[in-house]
Amino acid sequence: MPSNIRDDERIVIRAVEPADAGHWSALRATLWPEETAGTHLNDVERFFETVPKDIGMMPEEVLVALAVGLDGSRLVGFAELSRRLHAEGCTTSPVGFLEGWYVVPEYRRRGIGRALVAAAETWARNLGCHEFASDALADNRESQAAHASLGFEEVEVIRCFRKKL
């Protein structure tokens, strides 16, 4: 176990709260570095301002993983969730969808990602979803392995194209 992880810590999974905004935004920037810090902060602010949330909103829900110890807590992971009307390989609608999923590197391989996804599946099931889906870039082997280890089945590989008009 890395030295910066203390024995007194326990992991708590819960819905994101406004007080988590700065930390959640920083973790988003690590997962999606192609976007600016300002874009991430705007997305986080929009999430908290938009009520009610509904099918098609991305994200519709956010779960966070907190490492809670004697001296407080710190956000060490998140899962952004939505419901989509359709997802590749799925036959029901709506489909719970794992839009983004991240655990701080020093906290990986401790079951935190698995706990976030299990809580995400419960969220989707409670909203009437019968399937849960996700995606990853074709060359992201780490994400593919993580999905497979949690029981996801690869259903399709696509190439996306664009043309400037």
Residue 160, domain member (yes or no): no
The structural domain count of the chain equals 1
Q: Hey, how many other C-beta atoms are within 10 angstroms of the C-beta on 106?
A: 14
User: Across all residues in the chain, what is the average pLDDT?
Assistant: 92
Residue 153, domain member (yes or no): no
Token pair belonging to 49: 């301002």
Residue 117, domain member (yes or no): yes
67-71, 73-77, 142-146, 161-165, range with greatest mean pLDDT: 73-77
In this prediction, residue 3 carries a pLDDT of 43
Give the angle 41-136-35 at the CA atoms, nearest 5°. Answer: 25
The rounded Cα 19 to chain-centroid distance in angstroms is 18
- Which CATH number is 97's domain given? 3.40.630.30
In this prediction, residue 4 carries a pLDDT of 53
Residue 154, domain member (yes or no): no
Per-position DSSP letters for 125-141, written without gaps between them: HHTT-S-EEE---TT-H
pLDDT in tens, 87-108: 999 999 999 999 999 999 999 9
The domain of 98 spans 10-133
Does the global pTM surpass 0.75?
Answer: yes
Would you say 40 and 81 are in contact if contact means Cβ atoms under 8 Å apart? no
Confidence of residue 70 (pLDDT cuts 50, 70, 90): confident
pLDDT mean over 142-154 = 92
Residue 163, domain member (yes or no): no
